[in-house]
Structures are given as structure tokens and as C-alpha cells.
Amino acid sequence: MQRLSHLLGTENLTREQITFILDQSKPFQEFQRYPLKKLATLRGKTVAVAFFESSTRTRISFTTAAARLGADTMALQAESSSVKKGESLIDTVRTIEAMRPDGIVIRHASSGAPEFVAERLEIPVLNAGDGTHEHPTQALLDALTIRDRKGGLEGWNITILGDILHSRVARSNIHLLTKFGARITLCGPAMWVPRELENMAPGLRCTTCIEEALEGADVVMVLRVQTERIHEPALAAEEYILGYQLTAKRLRLARPDALVLHPGPMIRGLEIDPVVADGAQSCVLEQVTNGLAVRMALLYHLIGGAPVDAPHPAKDRSNASD
Ligand code: NCD
């Protein structure tokens, strides 16, 4: 298998690489249940975690994943850094690189920022979300959740609800899941689900009718409504709720064993009814836990540099530092 040198998106990953990352994540999932959660696998390595845009779960998840592998982290928070003083992206990341981290995790409001950085630095770059472009670790953790719950990743009917046009989560999921034969329905208000999106990948269908979108779905992925994009009179929150909120009644149109996924942060009462968010079909917290496992697998692969067939660090307990 072709080793990854960066993780910039899911568009250019092969099925084999995706399956490898998901397989490598499995023992790290088990590992999250151990009473002592620290390995020595990346001891002496440093991971820079540079967030130029706000984040709760992705930032904490990457930082915790690095710590559980034994690595140190260097954190950059844009709000409290020289970015505020007008320093350019490349100067900021070159400054971080001069402190010799072994890899950098980057979130940025501009689409393409991680790729721009990867072309200029010598170390592995992991995209933690860039503008409206990609959020590959989110799609990988979603895939792990689907594969676990459904016993495989192949050929499901997946419905993605919300602002597809501006969603990096939707884009990364579309690229990943269509490689595994998913039939994906994109659903939301017309201005957020333009027909041209159907050209993104084979097997894509766009609709503005939520009932049609949910019929027979195996997985319903609900996106956060980016409230900054709700502008009356074009679209009021009440209209969105009436037309597109995932309610228990609507969910009954999907298959009885359909999974409900949400990348967070959830706005309860807007895109999702709290009854569904907390219901038996919801995988929201499992997604968060799986995020740790996927990020540990990626940091291990990209920064640890071990051969792809090396014994897995979470299985080989002689490697534990506890
Ligand atoms: C998403 C993001 O920031 O792209 N959240 C996340 O990383 N879990 C989704 C969102 O903010 O809408």
C-alpha cells in the first residue's frame, strides 16, 4: 500500500488506504477503554496543533490522541497569537516548523490552506478542516462508526441533510463513501443543495424534499446549520425547522435500523430534535470516541513512520508506558 505523507482530504485516498486507516483504528478504539491510556509509541515526538479557526472536539481530540501516543504537543490558538497582528499563514507555520515539530495538524478558514502548507514544509500535514473544502478525519471517524454499527461500509443508502454547499464534512464524506459504493442523497433548501453537486461523484442525488430523501435511508447524517448563513428573509430558522429538522416522525421514514450521525456542534431544536439526538439510533457520542481512535491511527502512521505491517502498538502491551 502507498504510505501517506500527509492527510489533506479523502478525495485522493484509495479504498485500500481508507481500509488500512480504519483497520489500524480498531485496536486504538479498544485502547480508549483501558484504565491507563498512555502508550510510548511517539515518545520524544512533537505534534504541532495549529487552529486558525475555532474548534472544540477536533482540537481536543487531536491533542488527546497525540498525548495518548506519548507525543508532546505545541498549540497555536489563532485568537491569542501573532496571527491577530497580521502575520501571514506561511510565516506562522514556518515559525512553528523552526521549533522542529514532527508533524502539524492544521485547521484554517481558507479552503486549500493545509495543501499550501504541505507544499512548503518538510513535515507531515494533517487537515483538521479547511474552509468549505474537506474535513478528512471527520469522514474517517464517520466511516468507522458506520462500519462498526452496520458490519461493513459497502453500498449503503446515505442521506446527508443540511447546508451541503458549505460543508467540508459533507464533501469529505461524499468522496469517501462513494468509493465504497454508497448511494448518497443530499437534501436541504435549494440554495444549499444546487443540482451541480450531483457531478461531484457517481451515485449522488440532490433533492429539496426531506420525505423523499429519508425513504429507505440506512444512515442519516445531519449537518450543523451554520447560523451565520441563515439570513432572513432568504431563510428563517423557523422555515428550516419546518422543512428540514430531523424529527422522530421523519426518521421513521428511514429504515428502522438507520443510524443518525452528527459531526457536532449540534444545535438542538434547529437541525435536530433533541429526542432524535438522544435517541437509540443516535451515534453522536460514539463518533466522538471513534475520532480519538482514528486520529491516533493517523498520527501513528504519519509521524511514527513504522512499516505498515509492524505489530500494532495498542496490541503490543510491552510498548505501554504504564
Ligand atoms: C465540523 C467542522 O468544524 O467542520 N465540526 C467538527 O469538526 N466536528 C462541523 C461544523 O462545525 O459544522
What residues contact residue 295 under an 8 Å CB cut-off, 6+ apart?
61, 62, 65, 137
Higher pLDDT, 229 or 277: 277
Mutate which of 53, 54, 166, 169 for ligand 1? The one with the most ligand atoms within 8 Å of its CB, which is 169
Identical fold, 15-134+288-319 and 136-285: yes
Residue 125 forms beta bridges with which residues?
104
Cα 253 to Cα 161: distance, rounded to the nearest angstrom:
14
DSSP assignment of 76-139? EEGGGSGGGGT--HHHHHHHHHTT--SEEEEEESSTTHHHHHHTT-SS-EEEEEETTTB-HHHH
Q: Is the pLDDT of residue 8 over 80?
A: yes
Average pLDDT, the chain: 94
Please give the number of the atom of ligand 1 that sits closest to the Cα of 169: 4
Q: Is the pLDDT of residue 180 over 60?
A: yes
Cα 122 to Cα 225: distance, rounded to the nearest angstrom:
37
Whole-number pLDDT of residue 322: 47
Secondary structure class of 174 (helix, strand, coil): helix
Each domain of the chain, given as residue ranges in start order, spans 15-134+288-319, 136-285
Binding-site residues, ligand 1, Cβ < 6 A? 57-58, 129, 135, 138, 168-169, 224, 263-264
Please give the number of the atom of ligand 1 that sits closest to the Cα of 128: 7
Please give the number of the atom of ligand 1 that sits closest to the Cα of 58: 7
Domain spanning 15-134+288-319: CATH 1.20.1260.10: no
Task: Identify the band that residue 281 occupies on the pLDDT scale cut at 50, 70 and 90.
Answer: very high
Q: Is the pLDDT of residue 238 over 50?
A: yes
128 CA distance to ligand 1 middle (Å): 9
- Mean pLDDT value of segment 180-187: 97
**Residue range 58-114, pLDDT digits in tens:** 999 999 999 999 999 999 887 766 777 788 999 999 999 999 999 999 999 999 999
Higher pLDDT, 107 or 228: 107
Whole-number pLDDT of residue 318: 53
Name the architecture of domain 136-285. Answer: 3-Layer(aba) Sandwich (3.40)
